[in-house]
């Protein structure tokens, strides 16, 4: 065998070794020196790439979470209290507006009960007697009473407690509500007993010729 043949064989062996052992990032040098054999292993390129990707991903998730809920745990209690106060304030405001709307509606409604309606003939209701009539329309009733010491008076028959119809009791000189035993004075409509707190609405009367008219209902 010639010197040139030995050179070729050596070159082929070197190429085989290079194919079976590809160079790493350190330019083909082993990153772990032989003297550090007992030291922890250095991460491979794949491990480092995966670690970097996980770090970036974790930052992205945290950033997204902070955008959706930009409060730290320590501020969580504060946020809850603030939301509760906000809810209470808005609820109170809504209740206030609803009450104001009801008050305005009630005021408008009371002014619309002014209506002239014939309800009886003069002398039709005897002393101590009464007559139920529709006022201001067929959906509501009033009671016309001829009191021995006062003459004709009229009231809405709707109890001011929970809207039951009251009954006239001539012997007692009062209106009686059978639902919860509310009682009203027949000559004034004022409360005499039971749960009602407001008097019966009064219906003002007018006489023209031989006819008695209901003119207006007065809330009290």
Q: Which residues make up the interface to ligand FES (CB under 6 A)?
A: 159, 161-162, 164, 177, 179-180, 182, 194-196
Closest to ligand FES by CB, 174 or 205: 174
Nearer to ligand FES, 152 or 179 (CB): 179
**Residue (170 or 194) nearer to ligand FES, CB:** 194
199 contacts 210 by C-beta, under 8 angstroms: no
The three-state secondary structure class of 119 is: strand
Q: How far is 28 from 8, CA to CA, in rounded Å? A: 23
What Å distances lie between residue 219 and 110, 114, 165, 199, 204, CA to CA? 7, 11, 16, 9, 11
Contact predicate 201/214, CB 8 Å: no
- Burial string for 31-51 (b: 16+ CB within 10 Å, else e) reads eeeeeeeeeeeeeeeeeeeee
Give least dist CB 181 to ligand FES, A: 6
Task: Tell me the sheet residues that pair with 151.
Answer: 147
In the bound state with ligand FES, the residue whose beta carbon lies nearer, of 100 and 162, is: 162
The DSSP symbol for 38 reads: T
> 169: which residues sit within 8 A by CB, 6+ positions away?
175, 176, 186
State the minimum distance, in angstroms, from the CB of residue 158 to ligand FES.
9
Closest distance to ligand FES from the beta carbon of 140 (Å): 15
Closest separation between CB of residue 149 and ligand FES, Å?
A: 26
Q: How far is the CB of 189 from ligand FES (least distance, A)?
A: 13
120/168 with CB nearer ligand FES:
168
Q: Report the nearest approach of ligand FES to the CB of residue 196 (Å).
A: 5
The residue written with tokens 């491979």 in the block is 44
């Amino acid at each position: 065998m010639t010197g040139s043949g030995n050179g070729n064989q050596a070159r082929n062996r070197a190429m085989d070794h290079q194919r079976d052992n590809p160079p790493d990032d350190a330019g083909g040098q082993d990153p772990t020196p032989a003297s550090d054999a007992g030291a922890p292993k250095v991460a491979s390129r794949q491990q480092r790439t995966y670690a970097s990707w996980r770090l970036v991903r974790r930052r992205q998730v945290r950033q997204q979470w902070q955008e959706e809920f930009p409060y730290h745990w320590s501020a969580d209690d504060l946020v809850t209290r603030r939301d509760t106060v906000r809810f209470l304030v808005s609820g109170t405001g809504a209740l206030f507006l609803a009450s104001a709307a009801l008050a305005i509606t009630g005021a408008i409604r009371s002014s619309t009960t002014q209506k002239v309606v014939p309800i009886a003939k003069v002398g039709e209701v005897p002393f101590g007697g009464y007559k139920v009539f529709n006022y201001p329309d067929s959906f509501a009733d009033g009671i016309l009473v001829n009191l021995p010491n006062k003459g004709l008076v009229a009231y809405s028959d709707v109890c001011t407690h929970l809207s039951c119809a009251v009954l006239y009791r001539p012997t007692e000189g009062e209106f009686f509500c059978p639902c919860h035993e509310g009682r009203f004075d027949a000559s004034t409509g004022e409360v005499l007993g039971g749960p009602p707190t407001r008097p019966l609405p009064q219906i003002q009367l007018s006489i023209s010729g031989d006819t008695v008219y209901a003119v207006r209902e007065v809330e009290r």
